[in-house]
Amino acid sequence: MIKTVISSDRRIIFNFKELADYKELIMRLAFRDFKVRYAQTWLGLLWAFIQPLVFLLITTLIFGKGIKVKTGAVPYPVYSMVGISAYTFFSFVLTQSGNSLINAQNLITKVYFPRLVIPISRSIVGLIDLTIALLLLFIMMIIYKVVPSEHIVFLPLLVLEVILLSLAAGIWASALTIRFRDIQYIIPFFVQIGFYVTPVAYPSNLVPSKYALFYHLNPLAGIVDAFRWSVLGEPFSNVSYFMMSIGIVFFLLFSGIYYFRSIEDSFADIV
């Protein structure tokens, strides 16, 4: 009797070929998660439209009408929606990835596949929300007669950056949660705090200069600023902070993959 052992090459930190071989599994898991998300709901996919609109209504009432945050010539709802589109995607991927390995324990304990497939599939589901949020943004720009900036051509690159950051956060969250179960309770709190330390509902230039460097250690702050520069033509408060965001994103991504791969063999025992 011949036994075939399938295992990944541990000398390769990020095996693109192996993940490509499992692309069908990635898409199947993503499609399954998408169906489960809206299963047995009356409104179904409409929830993906309702959630960012409710988020926008709250920020507009509190920050736009209540605190009266100044956004220059750009109507506040449009200004806020740019930040919401990036932050809702990040928060969804981070939240969903936290329990992703625990929820997939039946798969993990029975069959081999690269475990990175699981957080990657959650990111794909989140792309639906990001697409809808961006669609709502451009509809609002038409309603408010806001002309897109000439920098709009860079938006796909910035979308890629927020995808990489969300994936990096999701990989870290999934790996840490399976080792330290308290993380699953910390993540929702982190997401709530993250909203206030990210310039979603206000311009980053409102942050005092003496705190600006510490503030931009949050890479999402630089990304949201870049989104507004690309879509609305808003100036950067400091380009170096955006470059720092790029560096932090790649550090989190590669370090997250390295840590994930280093403990991957123990997942079946821990879960």
| Helix residue ranges, H only, 99-208 | 100-103, 105-108, 117-143, 155-179, 183-196
Name the residue with tokens 């100036």. Answer: 235
166 versus 16: the higher-pLDDT residue is 166
Q: What is the pLDDT of residues 145-161, one digit of tens each?
A: 999 999 999 999 999 99
Judge contact between 224 and 145, C-beta under 8 A.
no
What is the pTM for the complete model shown?
Answer: 0.86
Show me where the domains of the chain are located: 16-270
Range name among 7-11, 31-35, 99-103, 181-185 with the lowest pLDDT average: 7-11
User: Could you tell me which residues come within 8 angstroms of residue 9 by beta carbon, excluding any fewer than 6 positions away?
Assistant: 15, 18
58 versus 108: the higher-pLDDT residue is 58
Say if residue 209's pLDDT is above 70.
yes
Range name among 79-83, 123-127, 158-162, 265-269 with the lowest pLDDT average: 265-269
Q: What is the pLDDT of residues 168-178, one digit of tens each?
A: 998 998 888 88
Question: How many alpha carbons fall within 13 Å on the CB side of residue 157?
Answer: 8
User: Could you tell me which residues come within 8 angstroms of residue 136 by beta carbon, excluding any fewer than 6 positions away?
Assistant: 49, 52, 53, 81, 85
